[in-house]
Amino acid sequence: MGKSQRAMAASRAVLRGSGEAATWSAGAHRSGSTRTMAVAAGLRIPARGNKADAARRHFAVASPGETGLKHTPYGEQGSGFYTDATRGCFDVLARLTGPVLEACQAMLANRTASQDFSPFRIMDLGTADAGTSLPLVRKCVELIRKTPGFESVPIEVLYEDQPGNDWVSVFARTQGTVTTPNVPDEAGGLADFKDVFVLASGTSFYQTCCAPGTVDVAFCATAFHWLTSSPSVIPDALHSACTEDPATLERYRRQADEDWRRIMSARGRELRPGARLVVANFAKDVNGHFLGFSPRTESMHHNFARIWKDMVTPAEFEATNFPNHYRSLEECSAPFGGEGGVFASLKLLSAETAIVPCPYLDSWLADPTKRTAAEQSKYYVPTTRTWSNSTFVAGLSSHRSAAEKEAMVDAMYNSYAEHVAKDPSKHGMDYVHSYLVVEKQAEGAAGSTRAGVQGSASSGTFGSQVRGVSTSTATTTMSTFERALLTMAEQRMPAADSTVCGRPARVLHWPSPQLGADIYIAYAQDTPLSQQLPGNGGLRIWDYASSEDAVKEAIGLAEGMRLKHSVYNTGFAGAKVVVNASTCGDTKQLNINKKELMSAVGTVLNDLGGTMYTGCDMNSNLDDMDNLMAKSPYVLAGIGNLALDPNDATAYGLLGSLEALAQRKFGSMKGTSFMVHGLGNVGRKIAEE
C-alpha cells in the first residue's frame, strides 16, 4: 500500500472512529426462550472477579467525555446491587405503570387498525441493572400477548444505559438468574416468555439509540437529570439544587435546558408515529423540595455538603459537583410551550409533579422498634450511595492514592450514617419527580413539527433547519423558533459571484458578543441539511476584515466541501463552519478564549441536532476538537492515540489526488511541477513530501 493509500485508510479510520460511530462490540447469549443480544459502544463485560476486585470496582476511572461525568455503578459486577439497594425506584416505576400501559394499549390499537404485526419494541432508557423496571416490562409483555393478533408477535425490549453500566446484572436479571427478595413480579425475568428478545445499547440517550421510527413504547425513570457536562463549579454546594449563587444556578439551568432538548429530539427520531414516551424526571417542585428533601426530612444533599466540606480541601470541595440538575416542571415543559405543545415532533400530553415517599423511612416510622437507630441507618444509607459514590471519588485530588480516596469516601458515608442514627425519623430519600407523557406526532399532523424545529428565542438556540423561512411570512405563521432564526440573521445568499459559489447558498449566523466572535455555517441552498444527509466541513477561525468577508469565505469553502463529498460519495453534504474572531493588534494572535468558543460551537452543533458535523481547519486543532467533543458528539476528528494528524491526512489525500491527476493527464508525476500556495499545516507537509 502506497503512502497516499495508507493516508486515505487512516483518514477513513478517523471518520469511522468519531462521534456516534465509535467502536462497537457485540456478543450473544441464549437462555430458555429469550434471546439476549448486547450491542454497546465499547462494551466489555468482564468476568466475575473476587470480592476485593468487586469492592474496588466503583473506584475505576471512567472513560473521558460525556460518559465520564456519569456515576460509575457501585457494588459487585453482576450482583444486582443497584436494585437491591434502591427499593424506592419500584414505587416510582409503579406510578409510571398506568401511563405506560395506556401507551401500550394506544399503540396496539393503532397497529391493529393498520394491520401492522411487525415486532413490538419497548425501550427502557437509563435502565441501571434493569431490576426496578422488570415488573413494569412484564406487565407490558403480558398486555401485548393478550391483544388479538399479537399473541406471537416478536417483542423486543431495548435496555439503554452508559457503556460502563453493570450489564452483567441486566442480563442476569432479564434471564431470571438474579432476583430481588420480596419482589414476586420480577421472578423469572423475561426468560419465561416466548419470543421476547432482550437488547442492550450503550449509546448515550443524548443520541439516537436505535433505528428511526422503530420504538412503540419508551419510558425513563430517574435518569434524564444527568447532564452532558458540568457547566461550572458550584462554590457553595455540591448540587445545583442547593446553590444560592444565581449565576451558577443559571448556568446549570441553561445546560439542563440544552440537554433536555437533545434528549427529546433523539426520542422524536426513535419513536413511531403515535408512540409515547413516559418520563419520571427528578425535579425541584414549587415548594423547593427535591430528592432527599421533603416536608418530613432534613436535606440529604445539604448534609452531604456539610460533612464533605469538613473533610477535604477547598479545591476538592469545588471539584465535587454532581453533574445533574433537578428540573422544575416549567423547565421540563419549556421546549413544548406547555401542555399540548409540540417539540421535536413530540406532543406534551401531560405534566405534573409528585412526591413518592422513601420506603426506608416509611418502614422506620411504621415500627421504630423493628430496628435500632444504628440498624436503620445502616439499612437506609446504602440507597444514597448507589448513585453518588463515584462523584465523591472523582472530586478528590489525583495526588491521593486510590486507597486513600476509598477510605475518605467510606468515612464520609460513615459520618452521614452516624448523623442519621441520631434521629432516623428525619432522614429518608423521598423522591420528588415531574411526570410527563409525550406522543410522537405523525408527519403533517396538526400542530406537529419536524424533529428539533422549535427552540428557545431567549437563549438564541434552535434545533434544526427550517425550510424556506422568509421575511414575507414572518408576521403570520412564524413559530418561536422561526422568530429566533430571523433575529439570528439567517439570510439567503445570491449566486451572482460564480467565482466564489456557483449556486445559491444559505448562511446561518450566531453572534456571540460575549466571546467577541461570530459563528457562521454555510451550506448549499438546494441541498438542505438533514440527519439523512448531514453537512460536513471543518471549523475555520480567522480575523476577517468584515462580516461580508467571513460570509463570502464560508460560502466558497462550503462549495468546495460540496464538490469533495459529491465526488467521493461520502454521505455528507458540503458545508463549512467559519468563526470571525478578533486578533491582538499587529501580532495577529487570536484574542479569544478557544475553550469557551468550542463550547459555543458545540451548543450550535447540538442545536442543529445531528444535521451538521465539523472537524479541524485553520486555527482549530486536535486540542480544540477534544474540547468540542466534550460538548457535542457531532465532531469528525482524530481519536486519541491515532498516530496520524488530520492535517497530515489532508495533505496525503491531496498528494494522492495529484498523483492520480498527473497519472491521467501526463502519464506519471515525473517531470511535473506543482505550486503550493500557502505553507500552513497542510501546505507545509505537501511541500515536504
C-alpha cell read off for 447 = 400542530
C-alpha cell read off for 16 = 469511522
Kindly give the pairing relationship between strand 491-493 and strand 505-512. antiparallel
In angstroms, the Cα distances linking 36 to 92, 119, 160, 207 are: 26, 15, 14, 23
Query: Residues 311-324: pLDDT tens digits?
Result: 999 999 999 999 99
pLDDT at 673 (0 to 100): 81
Q: Tell how far CA 378 is from the center of its chain.
A: 35
pLDDT at 656 (0 to 100): 82
E strand or H helix at 658: helix 646-666
Contact yes or no for 238/74 (Cβ under 8 A): no
Q: Which residues contact 111 (CB under 8 A, 6 or more apart)?
A: 117, 120, 216
Q: Which residues contact 664 (CB under 8 A, 6 or more apart)?
A: none
| Residue 511 scores a pLDDT above 90 | no
CA–CA separation, 385 vs 414, rounded Å? 11
Cα dihedral 568→571→575→581 (10° resolution): -100
Name all domains of the chain by residue range, CATH numbers in brackets: 3-16+648-688 (no CATH), 21-219 (3.40.50), 483-636 (3.40.50.10860)
Q: In which band, very low, low, confident or very high, does the pLDDT at 445 lie, cut at 50, 70 and 90?
A: low
Q: Which one has a higher pLDDT value, 424 or 57? A: 424
| Residue 161 scores a pLDDT above 80 | yes
Mean pLDDT of 480-494: 34
Q: Look at residues 269, 273, 256 and name the one whose alpha carbon lies nearest to residue 534.
A: 269
Contact yes or no for 217/276 (Cβ under 8 A): yes
CA–CA separation, 483 vs 475, rounded Å? 9
Q: Which one has a higher pLDDT value, 86 or 671? A: 671
C-alpha cell read off for 198 = 432482550
Q: In which band, very low, low, confident or very high, does the pLDDT at 442 lie, cut at 50, 70 and 90?
A: confident
Query: Residues 396-429: pLDDT tens digits?
Result: 999 999 999 999 999 999 999 999 999 999 999 9
Cα atoms found within 13 Å of the Cα of residue 629, Cβ hemisphere only? 24
Strand, coil or helix: 385: helix
Q: Which one has a higher pLDDT value, 679 or 42? A: 679
Query: Residues 245-292: pLDDT tens digits?
Result: 999 999 999 999 999 999 999 999 999 999 999 999 999 999 999 999
Q: In which band, very low, low, confident or very high, does the pLDDT at 470 lie, cut at 50, 70 and 90?
A: very low
C-alpha cell read off for 161 = 444505559
**Weakest mean pLDDT among 8-12, 334-338, 348-352:** 8-12
The angle formed by the CA atoms of residues 447, 451 and 456, to the nearest 5 degrees, is: 80
Q: Exposure pattern of 562-579 as b/e (b: 16+ CB <10 Å)? A: bebbeeeeeebbbbbbbb
Q: Look at residues 122, 435, 434, 445 and name the one whose alpha carbon lies nearest to residue 275.
A: 122
